[in-house]
Copies of this chain bind each other. A is one copy, B any other.
């Protein structure tokens, strides 16, 4: 069965649906004929932005609800066939400053959502987005799903707890849940006002402004960036495939790249579009250094074998499409929220 036929006419809730990944997912679901309800609280520090769904605004239902509001969430979950559970406090440095707030959003609210699923929609298919941050500093590269769980920040601790809750409600209560551990994801709709969502957001802003990209450290650190279309494809496959129930999958980019090389490629792509910017290496800010994980590259063999997913978008093409998007939609990055 094709993905499109899986989702056509289905009732689907996307939490965090005004955010970067959520809005791209909602767009894909709408194009397949799904009945999409978006839940988003538009937290100022988050990635939610109504402009992210400007092109599909008339075809989705938008609920301005905080996932910590258990009563509203239960009401919204009633009758849903799929739940893409993306809403989160995703800032790592922020989580260290206010661990209790991160706990409330990333764990307590998640337990509330899963309890509501038990009560009002026990046959819902759930896909939960977690983070490679749960692994902490890798013992070896690439990192597969059996790697030790050793989070180096509050956000990583809480996201792992929420993963466990999703798997527990699968195993014990029969809620069909799948966990995706995402690496750094980029693309149109990402937060570029600052580096809260990921460092590349701020880099792209600097490129658009003709400024200077700052690389923390000596530039040798490695990351495997994933273009958002590949991420959306993984989400859709995870929701559509019954074999994914109770499973955890790494999802990331095909290529592990040094940050200095990444910056050079970004500058090169930008240059071809007539944008001039520079790069420099600067020491890690203290609040970043203490939760930094060093090099990272994910092993994505499990999701490739079990769900047939692989990263298809090249880094250059992804960077090009991202910069073009912000050249055509310049307003979002000038303010913190839509």
Contact = CB atoms under 8 A, between A and B. Distances in A.
Interface in A73-132: 96, 99-100, 103, 107-108, 111-112, 115
Given A146-B148, A157-B165, A172-B290, A100 B96 contact: no
Contacts of A150: 164, 167
Interface string A131-159: 00000000000000010111111101110
A160 to B, nearest CB: 7
A155 to B, nearest CB: 10
A291 interface: yes
Given A96-B172, A108-B108, A160-B161, 19 more contacts: A99-B111, A99-B115, A100-B108, A100-B111, A103-B107, A103-B108, A107-B107, A146-B148, A149-B164, A151-B164, A151-B168, A152-B168, A152-B172, A154-B165, A154-B168, A157-B165, A157-B168, A158-B161, A160-B160
A291 B96 contact: no
Nearest to A167: B150
Residues of A contacting B: mostly: helix
Of A99, A146, A165, the most chain B CB neighbours within 10 A belong to A99
A336 B168 CA distance: 30
A267 B99 CA distance: 49
A171 interface: yes
20 contacts: A96-B172, A99-B165, A100-B111, A100-B112, A103-B107, A103-B108, A107-B161, A146-B148, A149-B149, A149-B164, A151-B164, A151-B168, A152-B172, A154-B168, A157-B161, A157-B164, A157-B165, A160-B164, A161-B161, A172-B290
Say how many copies of this protein the assembly contains: 2
**A160, A164, A290 — most chain B CB neighbours (10 Å):** A164
A103 B99 contact: no
Contacts of A161: 107, 157-158, 160-161
Contacts of A111: 99-100, 103
Contacts of A156: 164
A111 B106 CA distance: 14
A172 B100 contact: no
B172 A291 contact: yes
Nearest to A148: B146
Interface string A54-81: 0000000000000000000000000000
Contacts of A154: 165, 168
Nearest to A145: B148
A233 B27 CA distance: 59
